[in-house]
Amino acid sequence: MNGRPLVRALPVTVADEPADRLAALFDAHYDRLYRLARRLTPAADDALDLVQDTFLKAARFPASVPRGLTREEAWLVRVLINIRRDEWRKQEVRRRYHRAASPLPEADGADQEAAFIARATVWSALDALPPRRRAVVVMHELEGLTTSAIASVLAVSAVTVRWHLATGRRALARVLTRVRPGATP
Amino acid sequence: MKTTGDILRDADPLRRELDRSGQARDRLRHEVIAAATSVHSSSSPLLPKRFSVLAPLVLVVVGLMVGIQLWPRENATLQAAVRFEVRLATEESTPGLEEARVGNSDRVVYLYDEVIVTNEDIAHATVVPGNDQSQFSIEVQLTVAGAQKMRAATAMYLGQPLAILIDGVVVTAPIVRAVIGDSAIITGDYARVDAERIVDGIVGR
């Protein structure tokens, strides 16, 4: 036998408590995730649910969350988008019916109510985009990220990001020109 | 002329909803951390079946296939009726180490002769529901000293197999993915009578 007295030689190591790790993840990334989630969902409550589901995923699979702020964030963002994508697919049939039955309201922006309707209409137009494409549009147009930065976060190529961006802008432009005739992609 | 970006920025709900986020954030934080604590302190089937994803205080041993032949060979010199050992092991063929087959599989591990925890380190054991109605698992709670030994050993043994032996037979040898603490759930397809037999015999007298 060449077994060594391993146990006696081993120092006691403080365990990395999962709840502590999750608290740290939450504190470091909540704001960024909420901003993204809010821009991927129709309402604030939907965004909170989405963020909660994302962190619960991290709670269930802590070992799959990589270490390091940048890698953690990228992992959480991808999980969030994937969760949103699952929701979006389930809602798609209902949404198609809704779109067919309820044409988008026309708004001239002449008064406050019309402006509100216009904003809501723009935002609901985003619902037509698949979540990953919507995320690309949001990250580029509202968060100011470059295509290469988005590619890095989403773990896809810059070519794919540019394709999502161009396709997303075209789809949005079709809706936006109905709301704001002066809009350009 | 407005661009798509201009129109999206104008419609961005975050421009008008910033004030309500603080309270919602605190509530969400509390719920998420509470959920993490409950996930990791229970034997919920939601738990992934590897050490890599377990709370430090929970050890789940998966896929235990123990035949009835494992425990009739009682040793009169033992204090407990069912001998329980956790030993460090390696999957690399190593001269001088005891070769052992894992359960009924073809997998072989090589056992170091130091025993990390044994019957004396078990505070108590209970039968818990398994994967379906006819299967039962065994939850083993270690004593404070046993948990300390387990934590110390697994902290230094990440990525290597830990062999669980019942009556000298390696019943499973999962890879250590995280520091293990004070309880073990030996999950498997025990019949209730067999699980109860192990539970009754496993605690050191």
CB proximity A163 to B under 8 Å: no
Instruction: Say whether pLDDT at A3 is over 50.
Output: no
Residues A120 and A67 in one domain: no
Q: What is the pLDDT of residues A118-167, one digit of tens each?
A: 777 888 888 888 899 999 999 999 989 999 999 888 888 888 899 999 99
pLDDT tens figures, B17-59: 765 567 788 888 888 888 777 765 543 333 333 333 333 333 4
**Same domain (yes/no): A30, A98:** yes
The model's pLDDT over B102-158, given as tens digits with 9 standing for 90+, comes to 877 788 998 887 788 888 888 888 887 766 677 777 777 888 888 888 877 777 777
Last residue of a domain, one of A102, A136, A153: A102
User: In terms of DSSP H, where are the helices of A10-68?
Assistant: 18-40, 44-60
Whether the predicted pLDDT of B89 surpasses 50: yes
Cβ of B113 and A141 within 8 Å?
A: no
- Say if A73 falls within a structural domain: yes
Helix or strand (DSSP H, E) at B137: strand B136-142
The shortest CB-CB distance from A61 to any of B31, B53, B57 is to: B53
Same domain, residue pair A127 and A97: no
Amino acid sitting at position A46 = D
* End residue of a domain, out of A102, A130, A146: A102
- A114 and A150 housed in the same domain: yes
Residue A3 lies in a domain: no
Same-domain status, A130 and A58: no
- Contact: B116, A1; criterion CB under 8 Å: no
Starting at the edge strand that comes first in sequence, how are the strands of the sheet with B183-190 ordered? B58-64, B183-190, B136-142, B122-129
Task: Say if residues A154 and A161 touch (Cβ distance below 8 Å).
Answer: yes
Cross-strand pairs, B101: B108
CATH number at residue A62: 1.10.1740
Residues A65 and A42 in one domain: yes
Four-residue CA torsion sign, A154, A155, A158, A160: negative
- From chain B, the residues in CB contact with A3 under 8 A are 96-97, 111-114
pLDDT of residue A110: 54
Radius of gyration of chain B (CA): 23
Considering the domain architecture, whether residues A50 and A72 belong to the same structural domain is answered as yes
A8-65 pLDDT tens trace: 222 222 234 677 888 889 999 998 999 999 999 988 888 999 999 999 988 888 878 8
Rounded-to-integer distance, Cα A39 and Cα B12, Å:
7
pLDDT at site B45: 39
Q: How many domains does chain A have?
A: 2
Angle at which helix B21-41 crosses helix A18-40, to 10 degrees, equals 140
Residues of chain A found within 8 Å of residue B182, distances taken between Cβ atoms: none
Write out pLDDT tens, residues B158-170: 777 888 888 888 8
Shared domain check, A87 and A34: yes
pLDDT of residue A150: 92
Helix H or strand E segment including B62: strand B58-64
CATH 3.30.1360.200 domain range(s) in chain B: 45-202
- Give the pLDDT confidence score for residue A14 in this predicted structure: 28
A148 and A74 housed in the same domain: no
Mean local confidence (pLDDT), A56-81: 88
Provide CATH code, domain B45-202.
Answer: 3.30.1360.200
Shortest distance, CA B94 to any CA of chain A (angstroms): 9
Whose tokens are 């130091």? That residue is B114
The domain spanning residue A158 has which CATH number? 1.10.10.10
Contact between chains at B98 and A55 (C-beta distance less than 8 A)? no
Range of the domain at A86: 18-102
